[in-house]
Chains A and B, each alone.
Chain A
Amino acid sequence: MVNDRIGVYVCHCGGNISDVVDVYKVVDAVKDEPNVVIAREMMFTCSDPGQKQIEDDIKEFNLNGVVVASCSPHLHETTFRRAAARAGLNPYLLEHVNIREHVSWAHKHDKEGATEKAIKIVKSGIAKVREARALETIKVEMPPKVLIVGAGIAGIRAALDLSKLGIHVYLVEKSPFVGGRVAQSYNAYPSGKFGMELIEELINEVKQQKNITLITNAEVTSIKGVIGNFSVEIIKDPRYVVADCPRFKEAIDKCPIEVPNEFDYGLTNRKAIYYPYPNAYPELPVIDMESCNRCGECVKICGDAINLDQQPEKMRIDVSAIIFATGFDPYQPNEGEFGFNVFESVITLPQFERLLALCDKKLVYKEREIKDIAFIYCVGSRQREGNEYCSRYCCVATINSALAAIEKFGEINTYHIYRDMRTYGKYERYYEEASKKGARFFRYSLDEPPEITQKGEKLIVKVKDKLTFNEEIELPVDLVVLSVGMVPRKSEIFSMLKVPFSRDGFLQEVHPKLRPVETAIGGVLIGGACQAPKDSVEATASASAAAAKAATYLLKGYAELEPFIVEVNLEKCTGCGDCVKECPYDSIQLKNINGEEKAFVIEAACRGCAACAAVCPEEAINLRGYTYDQLRAQIDAMLM
């Protein structure tokens, strides 16, 4: 059946179109085409009277197809489809063709040729609409449940936001305790609050929430499915501490094992049963089985609260949407990069922040008091080979930590050896304050980086300083701090879901401004520093944005997807399976239908790329809204 009562509207667009294209001639050329019952030119089709005219015509002539020839569909397709819907016509029976960007603007110097091209484009639009079918948007049920991967500051922030909207959150954290990188930081700029305090405040809020299931010491091992229906498998590693006990402190003291504490980057030691830091959450300590010798001392004290034979636990949960808040790793300098791992007094910025937190009254590292510190900026950032990007946060974080050192320990000389200083926006005041506090700045170039050597007790940093007219200056210091950037974290779950990566290896959003927290995979959102280097301010802002975005699907209870997906003609399909191999989204599979293997489309997963349709040898697969019959009719109309 073809649509046999078609209305055609050719737009002047003020003069944008009609100054070049003879719109009257276009109308004349198509008004007697088969099935066209009404053809009009309009001054501004998108105006209220323009839309009204289309609506009235649909009703008066009982139209079952409409062609609007005007600007780009990007601009007004939705406008006109809504107008059609208001008049009771299925919006997908309206075809919007572009005679402005594609015709009048492109062919200003050839009015006749432009008019001819416009006629062909409109005719092809008519041909397409003739074969068009009414389509319905795809509704996907969305039970209000979300998985958040990562319980750092971003993950916790997003969990709180969703929970307060009545949405259930599974907050899964790989390590035994929450807080991530922010908990390790000393005083996170710009509030000056300690990282641990920030996490503690958020966790106090989490404790009030009924909608958050926190799963620590657990890893997501598999995610299958699509928006509205993700099936997630989680393995929860044993904590070996299974219940509360008032005597944990005694048990920790008794534990004979001492190993470096990862949380402090090895600056302190911990026991095999431990908290990484006081007030860590959850309040139950954890036993690190790799270092535990199963001596049983802790069991003697805490009894049933400790079970050294606890087994890993497999869990399965179903969620509608997923937020990745998996964060970053600090860049780990190579052996010998600025003396790293060669001289013991060369450390990274995150290590320095732990040092600031752990020292009291005097700043001491390896039993020596620190009086002069050189900070080398852009370590592992903005390289020709390796990480090309700027991590942005490190300039401010480094100056902030230098100021913190001066504030906590009094007179310390700080030397800042940078390539470019980017204390952007309101953080300029940190640079100002550092200058006031006596910080000295030096500028090096990528080709002539500073050199580090040992001389007696001191390290000598030799810098060819652009600010001192390329003279070589020697800085005798007690500590060299490498200001390292952020590098993306790798995880198999990203590839499981085929989440795209940016050039720099972070997770990629659909569009940095228009859809900043969504990935190309429906229902998979990103928040925090897994997306790009971010400071804690930006991380929490994007996490809240991801939560708000997830809520837009979940509060409605369903998501609406465009109907442009593929469909299988079961009579033609031979079950060869070529399409299954081709599909990049695993959304087509072979299924036994009435005793025969046939291709079957998982509608919610199909993204309408039609790669399957292209390879199908039987032409058994069609893309809705762009069927082979429609495309052929369009081409024929163009060639006539």
Chain B
Amino acid sequence: MTVIYPDFVKELYEFGVETALECFNCGNCTAICPLEYDLFPRRVIRYIQLGLKDRILENPDELWRCLHCGLCTQTCPRQANPGELILGLRRYVVAKWRGK
């Protein structure tokens, strides 16, 4: 069971994650992603929207799989900028570990 935490979106602003709520969950980013890895990056963007921090920190490695090729950002119909969101999340995860 997972409880929503809407304020997470705001916590991510300082890491440059600002466009997550633009996403309307169409899945184009996952369809175009050359990694063809699970539901990357759509899944992790949905977790940002709902503030499911634990889900993100459970499996942070996947963020470093991204090649930053930019295809998702080009394809996104909502200018949610998925590539940039992934980069921001990396910064968040690193900061989180430093904090520990």
Please report A residues at the B interface, Cβ cutoff 8 Å: 372, 413, 415, 435-436, 438, 440-441, 462, 467-469, 471-476
A469 touches B24 (CB 8 A): no
B24 touches A474 (CB 8 A): no
Query: Known contacts A440-B49, A476-B3; can you find 15 more A-B pairs with CB under 8 A?
Result: A435-B21, A438-B21, A440-B4, A440-B6, A441-B24, A462-B1, A468-B50, A469-B46, A473-B3, A473-B4, A473-B50, A474-B1, A474-B3, A474-B4, A476-B4
A472 touches B21 (CB 8 A): no
B22 to chain A, nearest CB (A): 7
Question: Which A residues touch B3, using CB under 8 A?
Answer: 473-476
A476–B22 CA distance with the chains assembled, in angstroms: 23
Number of A-B residue pairs at CB separation under 8 A? 41
A593–B24 CA distance with the chains assembled, in angstroms: 76
Question: Which A residues touch B6, using CB under 8 A?
Answer: 372, 413, 438, 440
Contacts A413-B6, A472-B1, A474-B3 given; does A436 touch B21 at CB 8 Å: yes
Question: Which B residues touch A438, using CB under 8 A?
Answer: 6, 9, 21
Contacts A435-B22, A438-B9, A438-B21 given; does A471 touch B4 at CB 8 Å: no
A10–B47 CA distance with the chains assembled, in angstroms: 74
A467 touches B1 (CB 8 A): no
Question: Which A residues touch B22, using CB under 8 A?
Answer: 435-436
21 contacts between A and B (CB under 8 A): A372-B6, A413-B6, A435-B21, A436-B22, A438-B6, A438-B9, A440-B6, A440-B50, A441-B24, A462-B1, A467-B25, A467-B46, A468-B46, A468-B50, A472-B1, A472-B2, A473-B4, A473-B50, A474-B3, A474-B4, A476-B3
Interface flags, B8-45, vs A, CB<8A=1, else 0: 01000000000001101100000000000001000100
B77 to chain A, nearest CB (A): 12
A465 to chain B, nearest CB (A): 8
B24 touches A435 (CB 8 A): yes
B1 to chain A, nearest CB (A): 6
Question: Which B residues touch A413, using CB under 8 A?
Answer: 6
**Highest count of chain A CB atoms <10 Å: which of B4, B6, B24, B39:** B4
B2 touches A415 (CB 8 A): no
A436–B50 CA distance with the chains assembled, in angstroms: 15
B25 touches A473 (CB 8 A): no
A468–B47 CA distance with the chains assembled, in angstroms: 8
**Highest count of chain A CB atoms <10 Å: which of B1, B22, B39, B50:** B50
Cβ-defined partner of B43 (8 Å) among A435, A440, A469, A475: A469
B4 touches A475 (CB 8 A): yes
B2 touches A474 (CB 8 A): yes
Name the residue on B nearest A467 (C-beta). B25
A415 touches B4 (CB 8 A): yes
Question: Which B residues touch A472, using CB under 8 A?
Answer: 1-2
B28 to chain A, nearest CB (A): 14
Name the residue on B nearest A431 (C-beta). B24
Question: Which B residues touch A435, using CB under 8 A?
Answer: 21-22, 24
Question: Which A residues touch B9, using CB under 8 A?
Answer: 438
**Highest count of chain B CB atoms <10 Å: which of A413, A415, A440, A472:** A440
Name the residue on B nearest A434 (C-beta). B21
A476–B1 CA distance with the chains assembled, in angstroms: 13
A473–B49 CA distance with the chains assembled, in angstroms: 12
A631–B25 CA distance with the chains assembled, in angstroms: 66
A438 to chain B, nearest CB (A): 6
Ordered nearest first, which 3 A-B pairs have the shortest CB separation?
Answer: A474-B3, A467-B25, A413-B6
A372–B3 CA distance with the chains assembled, in angstroms: 13
